[in-house]
Amino acid sequence: QTGPWCLQVSIPDGLFLSLGLVSLVENVLVVIAITKNRNLHSPMYCFICCLALSDLMVSISLVLETTIILLLEAGALVTRAALVQQLDNVIDVLICGSMVSSLCFLGVIAIDRYISIFYALRYHSIVTLPRARRAIVGIWVASIFFSTLFITYYNHTAVLICLVTFFLAMLALMAVLYVHMLTRACQHAQGIAQLHKRQGSTRQGFCLKGAATLTILLGIFFLCWGPFFLHLTLIVLCPQHPTCSCIFKNFN
């Protein structure tokens, strides 16, 4: 739909539902693979499994919400408005909690990889399964608690600022840790090249591959969560501006 100042992009509900189902199946396969393979029962894979569970909860919530909307629009589901509102609040808490836990587990995975590189000899004594389990429980409890607060007070600007700040903090944490790890890897490659008296092209190629991988990793992270937090930022900065209002229509 086009207007004098605003272009609205409409995504078919069927496509949105299909993407949610694909994401659901992918995350289920990740959880099953880690659960069934005993060789993957280490702290790092526990964090990855929890990350998949977080994304799985998002997929289930979105698929459930989209299905209910389609049934209500088709007239196949008739219920009270109060019940629909309560169900919507529950789904919002699940989505918000999954989002917070997903960002936390991404940060924890970055910290885990950082410790494995810079404290390699002490890694297994620092990152143990009991400590990993306590961290996982703490993240889930905190995510549910704060998501409930966020949804309860969603119309307060302070809540939106906290969410955006949390996202930027996780992004900065991941960027700093992974850049530091890449720097150490390049130094290690340089030392190996000098030891074997190889040319610098090998080290440069390794560093370029590492930089490309890091760019892809952080780029995907930003592409997945950036639009949502950009939406929250615009709500805080320019809730009445025509351009921001146009963006809000596309998010709705």
What b-and-e string marks burial along 103-140, b requiring 16 or more CB atoms within 10 Å of the CB? bbbbbbbbebebbbeeeeeebeeebeeeebeebbeebb
- Supply the pLDDT for residue 251: 64
Alpha helices in 75-154 (DSSP H): 81-118, 123-126, 129-152
Hunting for tokens 């997929």 — which residue is that?
59
* pLDDT digit string, tens, across residues 182-224: 888 777 777 776 776 655 455 556 566 666 676 777 777 778 7
Q: What is the pLDDT of residues 77-114, one digit of tens each?
A: 667 777 777 877 788 888 888 889 989 999 999 999 89
The radius of gyration computed from the CA coordinates of the chain, to the nearest angstrom, equals 22
**Backbone torsions φ then ψ of 155, nearest 5 degrees:** -85, 5
Biggest CA-to-CA distance, the chain: 76
Question: Which tens digits make up the pLDDT trace of 18-67?
Answer: 888 888 898 899 999 999 988 888 898 999 999 999 988 888 888 888 88
DSSP 240: T
DSSP state of 241: -
Confidence of residue 2 (pLDDT cuts 50, 70, 90): very low
Q: Which of 108, 120, 105 lies closest to 184 in space, CA to CA? A: 120
CA distance linking residue 172 with residue 24, whole number of Å: 28
Any idea where the domains of the chain sit in the sequence? Answer: 11-154, 155-252
Helix (H, G, I), strand (E, B) or coil at 2: strand
At the second CATH level, the architecture of 11-154 is: Up-down Bundle (1.20)
Greater pLDDT, 124 or 199: 124
pLDDT at 203: 52
Judged on CB neighbours under 10 Å (0-12, 13-18, 19+), 79 is exposed
Q: Render pLDDT for 147-188 as a digit per residue (tens, 0 to 9).
A: 888 888 877 888 888 888 998 898 899 889 988 888 887 777
Residue 5, pLDDT above cutoff 70: no
Work out the number of other CB atoms within 10 angstroms of the CB of residue 102. 23
Give the number of other Cβ atoms within 10 Å of residue 23's Cβ: 17
Bridge partner list, 7 = 2
Q: Which helix (H) or strand (E) holds 42?
A: none
